[in-house]
Amino acid sequence: MRLASVLGETGPRIGLVGDGTVTVLPVEAGTVDDAIRGGADALDAVRTAGERAPVVPLSEVRLGAPLRRFNRDILCTGWNYWDHFEESAGKREGQDPPERPKHPTFFTKGPDTVIGPYDDIAYDPQISSKWDYEAELALVIGTDCRSVSEADAMSHVAAVCIANDVSQRDLQRAHGGQWLKGKSIDATMPLGPWLTTVDEVPDLADLRIQCEVNGVVLQDASTAQMAFSVARIIAELSWGMTLRAGDVVLTGTPSGIGNARDPQVFLHDGDVVVTRVGGLGELRNRVALTTLH
């Protein structure tokens, strides 16, 4: 299934996305957050409800972020494509690690960063002068788990979607080497456009991932290039730490980021950012001047 959050006068409703259509479930069916937290039984109920709900053109509805009720910060993986790790060598302003990490690098970003798949990305040049793009595959945890093995990890992932981990590089460097601040500016992370349940994705390890700014493709890679697999990420992140149904886990960005280019490329007011992952749809967001200070 592809579960979208359809916005309307009565609040968000579950939409089941087809080829150019969306089946809009009644208010009583709850939200996508409810369906994900409810596990397999809740997802089965959504499928059943979709059999008798009205179908409308996808172009006639407005989609919001598929998830809005978060248990915690968004969980993120850094340096998970070696080409991205290498392209930034010597450009981290004194924060270069001595060697390639032997384990996934984890950090978090605040949940108030999340916006919908077609919403504006907030941009305030007084907050930062270095707004960067990062196309990523995002995972959504479907069942609570702790200390799971790599072999069992995927059984705890309910769905996947697309994210763009828009980052403020100067803030990322300015606070003791901790990335939280430079990753957590409000209304800057598009998520969506919908959740695709993992049974609909044949191979998470071979998805094309792209980021385009103003019609120019700046990132173009495959999830096959990940340094650490999705299963490894879940296994190591959950080691001694409970992951909850509804948690969102970003899996890292490939090479081509603006900070590593020569000359550097940063986002500005009016830029249009398109983020794609093969088979999962696309995000299309405009960078818009916003007062955040």
Q: Could you tell me the residue range of the domain that residue 108 belongs to?
A: 74-289
Residues 48 and 181 in one domain: no
Q: What is the pLDDT of residues 224-250, one digit of tens each?
A: 999 999 999 999 999 999 999 999 999
Residues 127 and 239 in one domain: yes
Residues, the chain: 293
Cis peptide before 117 (omega within 30 of 0): no
69, part of any domain: no
Give pLDDT, residue 90.
78
Residues 152 and 225 in one domain: yes
Q: What is the residue type of 2?
A: R
Question: What is the spatial distance between Cα 65 and Cα 263, in angstroms, rounded to a whole number?
Answer: 33
Question: What is the spatial distance between Cα 142 and Cα 157, in angstroms, rounded to a whole number?
Answer: 5
* Residue 126 half-sphere exposure toward CB, CA atoms < 13 A: 5
CATH of the domain at 171: 3.90.850.10
269, part of any domain: yes
Query: Quick check: helix, strand or coil at residue 66?
Result: coil
Residues 271 and 188 in one domain: yes
Residues 59 and 105 in one domain: no
Question: What is the spatial distance between Cα 288 and Cα 77, in angstroms, rounded to a whole number?
Answer: 27
Distance of CA 120 to the CA centre of its chain: 16
The pLDDT averaged over each successive group of 10 residues in the chain (293 residues) is: 96 97 97 97 97 97 98 97 89 79 97 98 98 98 98 98 98 90 98 98 96 98 98 98 98 98 97 98 98 97
34, part of any domain: yes
Domain boundary among 64, 95, 112: 64
Give pLDDT, residue 177.
81
Domain boundary among 22, 46, 64: 64
Residues 57 and 95 in one domain: no
Question: What is the spatial distance between Cα 18 and Cα 31, in angstroms, rounded to a whole number?
Answer: 18
Residues 112 and 47 in one domain: no
**Which secondary-structure segment (H or E) carries 86?**
helix 82-87
Residues 42 and 133 in one domain: no
Total domains present in the chain: 2
Residues 35 and 152 in one domain: no
Residues 19 and 84 in one domain: no
Residues 6 or more apart whose CB falls under 8 angstroms from that of 279 comprise 196, 201, 207
Give percent of the chain with pLDDT exceeding 90: 93
Domain boundary among 64, 84, 112: 64
251, part of any domain: yes
pTM of the model: 0.97
Residues 130 and 220 in one domain: yes
Question: What is the spatial distance between Cα 135 and Cα 271, in angstroms, rounded to a whole number?
Answer: 15
Give pLDDT, residue 88.
80
Give pLDDT, residue 93.
73
Residues 50 and 140 in one domain: no
| Structural contact between residues 148 and 130, judged by C-beta atoms closer than 8 angstroms | no
Virtual CA dihedral for 114, 49, 40, 208, nearest 10 degrees?
Answer: -50
